[in-house]
Amino acid sequence: MLQTKRKTMLTIITNQKKERDVLVARPYLSRRTPYDTDALLSCPQIKLITGPRRTGKSTEAILMLKNKNFAYLNFDDGQLLSAWDENAVWQALQQVYPAFDYLLLDEVQNLDGWDLWVSKLYRNGINLVITGSNAKLLSSEMATLLTGRYIQVSMLPFSIDEFFAWHHLELKQLAPEQTAQAEALQADYLRNGGYPETVISRNIAQSYLSTLFDSIVWKDTAKRHRVRNVSDLNDLAMYMLSNFCNPFSATDLASDLGFSSVATTKKYMEYLREPYLFYYLPRYNNKLKLMAKAPQKVYVVDNGFVTAKAFNLGENLGRLLENMVFVELIRRGYDTEKSLFYYRSRNDKEVDFVVRSGHVVERLVQVCYDMTSAKAAKREINSLIECAGELKCNNLCIVTMGEECVIEERGHTINVIPFIKF
């Protein structure tokens, strides 16, 4: 029996090595991250690469390890999971990858009890690179067992900078003759987002993202949490997708969708946050109790999901731009629990994003697709200035699709910045 287990595991890991070698041989666009790969690999801490499915986590890990002697385990492989035996795995790894220096564990959260096994590997001095697509499992287990022993690298769909690079344009060094192409690319990115597979082949974007969205809801969420009423979970996901950038509360959602329980609605909302599909932005307030009670705003990880799946009667370019700005702020490391919020003034004026550093509000960011309308410009400026007064912040900007200028108004300086420069 033991010999059979070892033989089966050896076959599985040998086949995975063939897959790994194919992946290593492919050409890739290097992602533009702030991390020094050599410095990351030289440190003993676990390298944890997190983010939504299909955003290039495995690719980034392989690029990090491409010229290194590394072993590979892919936990999206049902055969590996069903035949799992810790001792057999270890023996097979040593046989297939003699004297390996690094171990790459891809989508490790699919393995039951993965955290205990990873902890043991770490204690035994194995230099680990891990990828995962579930925020709660990774953050809670890693924080519990491995506090201070890992470095987290976050991956999201392509930024607009990376999207331009794929099309052989440098966002910060555009020549005058490239203006028309840049505007077309920006409009494309606004609607179709930056998932790597769709960037390579735009003609498949909507069908690919529709299938991926369903897979995240049904596989990564419903199956993992053993959700019985999957149609309710899917209805919630579709409702939030169609109402992205809008404020909501669990009570309102339960009522609008006809759910019997607010508690279940909250639970489903958390489930849909875990695979990095949706983000919930709290309303800023110095009093935590009031902040917790206020409606949150919902954002989606990539605009392409909205175009592919959302039930919208018309194209809302303003909300697409707002969502794009939100994802860019997340990409820069801002956190919806500590440093990124929205705000409503006492007179019900709203600013889209409050960026905080520690206890200090460092920047207010308003989003307006088109500032050429005098009425729209006045509305956005008035809201921004009123909120700036209440929050004691003088660093103000409005992100637009194309306009760029500086506005002096009532003692405030407002920088109007096109997204392409934001």
Could you read off the pLDDT of 129-167 as tens digits, one per residue?
A: 999 887 755 566 666 666 778 888 889 999 999 999 999
Can you give the C-alpha Rg of the chain in angstroms?
Answer: 23
| CA angle, 36 then 41 then 44, to 5° | 125
Query: What pLDDT was estimated at residue 149?
Result: 84
Query: What pLDDT was estimated at residue 413?
Result: 97
Joined together, the tokens standing for residue 312 give 């919208």
Query: What pLDDT was estimated at residue 141?
Result: 60
Query: What pLDDT was estimated at residue 1?
Result: 63
Which residues, including other chains, have CB under 8 Å from residue 374's CB and lie 6 or more apart?
none
Alpha-carbon torsion (211, 252, 156, 421), positive or negative: positive
Query: What pLDDT was estimated at residue 311?
Result: 77
pLDDT by residue for the chain (422 residues), tens digit each?
668 888 999 999 999 999 999 999 988 877 887 788 889 999 999 998 988 989 989 999 999 999 999 999 999 999 999 999 999 999 999 999 999 999 999 988 889 888 889 989 999 999 999 998 877 555 666 666 667 788 888 899 999 999 999 999 998 899 989 999 999 999 999 999 999 999 988 999 999 999 999 999 998 899 989 999 999 999 999 999 999 999 999 999 999 999 989 999 999 999 999 999 999 999 999 787 778 889 999 999 999 999 999 876 567 899 999 999 999 999 999 999 999 999 999 999 999 999 999 889 999 999 999 999 899 999 999 999 999 999 999 999 999 999 999 999 999 999 999 999 99
Which residues, including other chains, have CB under 8 Å from residue 26's CB and lie 6 or more apart?
none
Query: What pLDDT was estimated at residue 290?
Result: 77
Tens of pLDDT, residue by residue over 314-373, are: 678 999 999 999 999 999 999 999 999 999 999 999 999 999 998 899 999 999 999 998
> Tokens 């801002």 map to which residue?
334
Nearest to 298 by CA among 308, 288, 283: 283
Measured CA to CA, the distance from residue 365 to residue 155 in angstroms comes to 23
> Residue 2 burial (CB < 10 Å; 0-12/13-18/19+)?
exposed
Query: What pLDDT was estimated at residue 5?
Result: 85
Which domains occur in the chain, in start order? 2-154 (3.40.50.300)
The 3-state secondary structure of the chain reads CHHHHHHHHHHHHHHHHHHHHHHHHCCCCCCCCCCCHHHHHHCCCEEEEECCCCCCHHHHHHHHHCCCCEEEEECCCHHHHHCCCHHHHHHHHHHHCCCCCEEEEECHHHCCCHHHHHHHHHHCCCEEEEEECCHHHHHHHHHHHCCCCEEEEECCCCCHHHHHHHCCCCHHHCCHHHHHHHHHHHHHHHHHCCCHHHHHCHHHHHHHHHHHHHHHHHHHHHHCCCCCCHHHHHHHHHHHHHCCCCEECHHHHHHHHCCCCHHHHHHHHHHHHCCCCEEEECECCCCHHHHHHCCEEEEECCHHHHHHHCCCCCCCHHHHHHHHHHHHHHHCCCCCCCCEEEEECCCCCEEEEEEEECCEEEEEEEECCCCCCHHHHHHHHHHHHHHHHHHCCCCEEEEECCCCEEEEECCEEEEEEECCCC
Query: What pLDDT was estimated at residue 331?
Result: 94
